[in-house]
Every structure is written in C-alpha cells, then in structure tokens.
Structure 1
Amino acid sequence: MSAGGGTRAILAALFANLGIAVTKLVAWGLTGSSSMLAESIHSLADSGNQALLLLGGRRATRRATPQHPFGYGRERYIYAFIVSIVLFSVGGLFALYEAYHKYHEQQVDGPHGIDSWHWVPPTVLVIAIILESFSFRTAIKESNLVRGKASWKEFVRRAKAPELPVVLLEDLGALLGLIFALVGVSMTLATDNGYWDAAGTAAIGLLLVTIAVILAIETKSLLLGEAGSPEDVKKIEQAIVAGSEVERIIHMKTLHLGPEELLVAAKVAVRPYATAAELAEGINSVEARIRNSVPIARVIYLEPDIYRNVEQPADGVPELKET
C-alpha cells in the first residue's frame, strides 16, 4: 500500500472529525441529547485514532538498531491495535453507558424529549453526514488504488498496511452512527419521547463495539506476524527456480516485518558448484531475482543444500532426501 494514500485518507478523516466533534458538542450543550453526546465522543475518539495512526506511521520509519535489527515497521500494527481499543472503550462503551443513563432518566422523570433548540440536532447531523461522506469518499478512492480485484471484505482482511482498512471501517461506522443518531433525534422530536434518543445512542454503541472487535481481530493477526500474500509468495517461488542455480525449493517461509517489508527465508537444493565463490554468486543472483519480482522482499535468507535420490517408492516417483 502506498503510505501517501493512507496518509491522505487519515488527514481527510482527521480534519472532518475535528470539525464534526466541535459542532456536535455545541449541539449537545444546547439540547442535552444523549445521541449528540455519544456522537461527540465518537468523533473525538476518531480524531485521536487518526492522530495515533499518523504517529505510528512516523515512528515506523525509524532506522533499524542493534536492539531492533529488523526495524520498527510493526509499530504501525501496534498503533492500529491501540485504535481498536480506543474505539471500543471510549467510543462504544461510553455510548452504551450514555444510552443506559438516558433510559434510566426517562424512567425516573417520565418520557420527555428535547426541550429547546429543536432544529439544532438534525441540522448538525445532516451537516456531519455530508462532511463524513467526503472523508469516506477519500478513503474509498485511496483504497481502490491498491485493493485491485479484491472485494472490500478481502481487502480489510488481507491488507498488510492497517491505515486504510482502519479509516474505512471508522468512516463507515461514523456514517452509520450519524444515521442512527438522526433517526433517534428525529423520532424524539416527533414523539417528544426520549426513549428514541436512548435507543439511537445504544445502536451507536453496539455499532462501535462491533467495528472495534473486527479491527482488533485483524490487527492482532498482523501483530502475531502474517506471511506474504499468495501472489507475492508465488512470485518469489517462481523467481527462485527461474534460473539454473536452484534445482528446487525444499521449504520456504515469509513474514511481514512491516506493511512494506517482507522477510524471506528458504532452504533450496542447488546444483553442485566447483567453489564457494561460485555458490555465493549463484545465491546472490537468486536474491536479485526475488527483489526484482517482489520489491518489498528486503530481508532474504537462502540456505543452500544438496539433495540426492535415496528411495524408489512403489509409484516410481523418487523421494528426495537430505544428505
């Protein structure tokens, strides 16, 4: 994924959410709507999340050190995981708490709606939906540049760079949350019954918790360490055996050290070489082919070995054994 594309999407979401958060807070202060408060906290949490993604992207560019010889690429995954926790706790759980508080208030004081500034919440929410739509459009546009033929579900699940999937899900959650809030507030104004406001707030909370869990699952997988994509693995295998240096691949493993850095470790069967210098030159040629085929394969370890046929199975296909 292009880091620039992810940064553009993050900045678009950040500016949109900051503006939306301020207007929602003003609307909540004027009306006391729980949906507006939940949405205000949601937008503030999203703004903090985008700041975390930008920070993670910046820290991931640090050079490798003796203590961290493979660099800091995975720091982007760590900050994406923190984002899921913030979205779950600050956004989702707070909204659920506020929904319960509003529901309890209706039971104690009796059903009542918004007492003043009736036009403010719908107006703010409609404006917020428009602004959030522009942010979501930017995230979709940048994602389309890198997702290829993959479906949206596949893109979110398989993307090695976390920023775009995170922003996509956040913007989607924000749009749906605004719609829930608009329905809740509109029904409250129409019926003068605050239970609708509480229901809209609860829907926002459940939505945010669901998105946060999805993000946590996906970023956890990245943190544990994911292999290269099937397409990249196939290209690497083809590059290894493309020349005369390697007879076959015995076994190979790949691991993402970061979104744009792939480690390749393989044990390969090589033809007999007269000298160690010739063997080293052959291995270097294989590594060069791998890097040309998959540029993100930046750390490559190839272990040469010699194989011979030691058994003749009943099916007539010789089994290769390590000498």
Structure 2
Amino acid sequence: MSNVWSLLKKGNKPSLLAALVNLFLGVLKGVAFFFTGNIAMFAEMMHSLGDSANQFFVFIGSALSKKAPTRQFPKGFGRVVNLVCLGAVLIVGILSYETIKEGWHQITHPAPSNGMWISLSVLAIGIILEGVVLMKAAKEILHESNESATFFSALPKAFTHLNRAKPATKLVFMEDLVATSGGVLALVAVIIAHFTGFLQAEGIASILIGLMMFYVVGVIFLENARGVIGETDEEMLNHIAHLLWEDKNVRDIQKLEVVKEGEFLHVEVLAEIDPSLTFAEVDDIRDHLMKILLSQTKVSKVTIAFDEDDGITNWNHIDDHPNNMK
C-alpha cells in the first residue's frame, strides 16, 4: 500500500486538480439542468463530468508511468500514460456525441428553459474555476519547458511551448481551454435565448461545445497513439547531436535515438572514437557523456556504446542552429 501512495504522489498534479474541480462543476451543472432544463447547461454538465473522469484516469496513469522497471518489464512503464490518455479521450468522444445529439434536438424541437439567473450563476462559477485550472496548467507547461512568465503572458506562452509539455499536462490544458471557452459560449447562448426568444441558440451552443470536445479527442488521440508506438523527439535529438559533437573525442555518430517514453526521453547512442584510446580513457569519456545527457530536460535513461573511427563521417542529421534545451 505504501508503494501505491508513493506512486500517486508522483502523479500529474494539474490533472488531479482538474478532475476534482470538474467533478464539483459537473454535479453543480447537473443540479442546475434539473431545475432549468437548459440544453446548453446539459452540454456543460456532460463536458465537466467527462473531463473529470478522464482527468482522474490520466492522473492515475501518470503516476503508474513512473513505476520503476521490473524484470518482466525492463523498459519501464513510461508509455502507460499514453495508453490511459487514449482511453480517456474515448470517454470524451462518447460524451461529445451525446452533447451534439441533444443540441440538434433543441434546434429541431426548441423548448424553453427556466431559471435564467441560476444558469448564468452556475456558468459564471464554472468559467472562473475552469479559468483557474487553465492558468495552473499553463504555468505547469512553462515549468516543464523551463520557461518563466508573468500572470498575463503565461497563457500565450503556454501555446508556444505546448508541444514540449507532458502528455497529461497537455490534455488538461486543452480540455480546460475548451471547457472555459465552452462555458462562455453557453452563457452567451442562455442570454440570447432569454432576451430574443431564439431558443435554438442553446442547441447551437451545445453542438459547438461538442465539436470542440471532438477536436480535443482527435488531437490527443493522435499524439498519444504516436507515444504508444514510440515517437522520436526531433528537437531534442538535434540538441543531443550537438552536445555529442562538442566532445572532442567523438569522431562520428553511427546511431542516435531519442524516443519518448511517456513523460520522459530515452536516449541511445553509438559513437565512433579514436581506436588508440585505452579502456580507462573510453570509460571516462562514457561517464562524461552520460553526465551531460542525463542532465538534459526529460532525459531519464541513456545507453552509450562506442565503435572505432573508420575515418568516414556519416552523421548529417543536424541543424546549424540548435536550440538551448537545458
């Protein structure tokens, strides 16, 4: 049991916070829908409950992905978080369909709703809380990217560094971005329906919210499918190639792989060195390179092997303008 708790402590904190906030909002919006019959509120209820469920699973998956390798699974459990994210987006996909279906029903058979101020109050609370979680996720993205920002610049900078975020953090950010904008959309729809009598506005808002949810499903599904297969981090590969070339003992690089394993990177290197070096000198070179590579962001495992220099430089997968990834 102590091992389980120690693993859970390592889980993605933004996803746990988002799960709890969305559970509270889902219940609150469900109560509001029961009293008002507002279809836009129904869409927001489904969205919040769906987000809560999959963000909780993502938290569990991110914790399990940090489990140490075992004899049966020597490469570790890093890709568990990708598998969990794939399962999580399926839940969102199902709820997206239900949201769009109810929105279409409201458009084709518009029905009035009651308790406008109840709906507006609940939606306003949801927008504020979702916005707080969104900002928390944005700051976590910047932290994972070794970047800093002010309160007002955190959100736009998070978009810039979104591809460098951990899968769980990226999922939370995108879901809460949709949730916050969906809340605003639902709030506007309620006001339009009440003051203009255009009841279809709530159905239109519900469909738009469902479509935004489907967008998140598509993006996260494709990204985590690549993660399950094992995707190369091209930016970090280029950076590590430069680090290797900076070492005067490295004459050529026969092989370099930088593969995403969940939230971390595994690096495998086969470099050519001077064949006249002693075993002790080669061991010192290996220790030096291991120390440098393991200090890089998200790199958790490094395998280095050497071969004798054949006098021919084969490595050409390198950019002339490397990024500072430290």
Q: Same fold (TM over 0.5)?
A: yes
Cα distance in 2 for partners of 1:136, 1:308 equals 53
In the other structure, the counterpart of 1:109 is none
In the other structure, the counterpart of 1:265 is 268
| SS of alignment partner, residue 233 of structure 2 | coil
Q: 1:136 to 1:278 in 2, by over 3 A?
A: closer
In the other structure, the counterpart of 1:69 is 74
Query: Which runs of structure 1 show a deviation greater than 4 angstroms over 4 or more consecutive aligned residues?
Result: 3-6, 241-244, 274-282, 292-295
In the TM superposition, residue 182 of structure 1 has moved relative to its aligned partner by: 1.1
In the other structure, the counterpart of 1:316 is none
Deviation by residue 1:147-171 (Cα, 9 ceiling, x = unmatched) = 3389544422343x11221111111
Q: How does 1:115-264 map onto structure 2 within 5 Å?
A: 116-147=114-145, 148=147, 151-159=157-165, 161-228=166-233, 230=235, 232-260=236-264, 262-264=265-267
In the other structure, the counterpart of 1:40 is 45
Q: TM-score, normalised by structure 2?
A: 0.81
Q: 1:86 to 1:247 in 2, by over 3 A?
A: same
In the TM superposition, residue 28 of structure 1 has moved relative to its aligned partner by: 0.7
* Alignment-mate amino acid for residue 256 of structure 1: K
In the TM superposition, residue 235 of structure 1 has moved relative to its aligned partner by: 4.7
* Alignment-mate amino acid for residue 253 of structure 1: E
Cα distance in 1 for partners of 2:116, 2:284 equals 77
Cα distance in 2 for partners of 1:140, 1:286 equals 33
Cα distance in 2 for partners of 1:212, 1:93 equals 11
Structure 1: unaligned runs, 5 residues or longer? 107-111, 310-318
My pick for the range that moved more, 189-198 or 73-82, is 189-198
In the TM superposition, residue 281 of structure 1 has moved relative to its aligned partner by: 5.1
Cα distance in 1 for partners of 2:91, 2:142 equals 27
| SS of alignment partner, residue 261 of structure 2 | strand
In the other structure, the counterpart of 2:323 is none
State yes or no: 1:56 paired with 2:55.
no
Cα distance in 2 for partners of 1:295, 1:178 equals 34
Q: 1:141 to 1:215 in 2, by over 3 A?
A: same
| SS of alignment partner, residue 255 of structure 2 | strand
Deviation by residue 1:92-151 (Cα, 9 ceiling, x = unmatched) = 211111112223333xxxxx422x333211121112112222222222222232333895
| SS of alignment partner, residue 69 of structure 2 | coil
In the TM superposition, residue 69 of structure 1 has moved relative to its aligned partner by: 1.0
In the other structure, the counterpart of 1:113 is 112
* Alignment-mate amino acid for residue 255 of structure 1: V
In structure 2, which of residues 80, 83, 87 is the aligned counterpart of residue 78 of structure 1? 83
My pick for the range that moved more, 68-77 or 10-19, is 10-19
In structure 1, which of residues 95, 112, 126 is the aligned counterpart of residue 99 of structure 2? 95
Is the CA contact 1:24–1:37 (under 8 Å) kept in the aligned structure 2?
Answer: yes
Is the CA contact 1:272–1:306 (under 8 Å) kept in the aligned structure 2?
Answer: yes
Structure 2: unaligned runs, 5 residues or longer? 1-7, 149-155, 315-326
Q: 1:286 to 1:168 in 2, by over 3 A?
A: closer
Q: What's the Cα RMSD here? A: 2.8
In the TM superposition, residue 292 of structure 1 has moved relative to its aligned partner by: 4.3
Q: 1:12 to 1:69 in 2, by over 3 A?
A: same
Q: 1:22 to 1:234 in 2, by over 3 A?
A: same
Question: How many percent of aligned residue pairs carry the same amino acid?
Answer: 24
Is the CA contact 1:87–1:212 (under 8 Å) kept in the aligned structure 2?
Answer: yes
Q: TM-score, normalised by structure 1?
A: 0.82
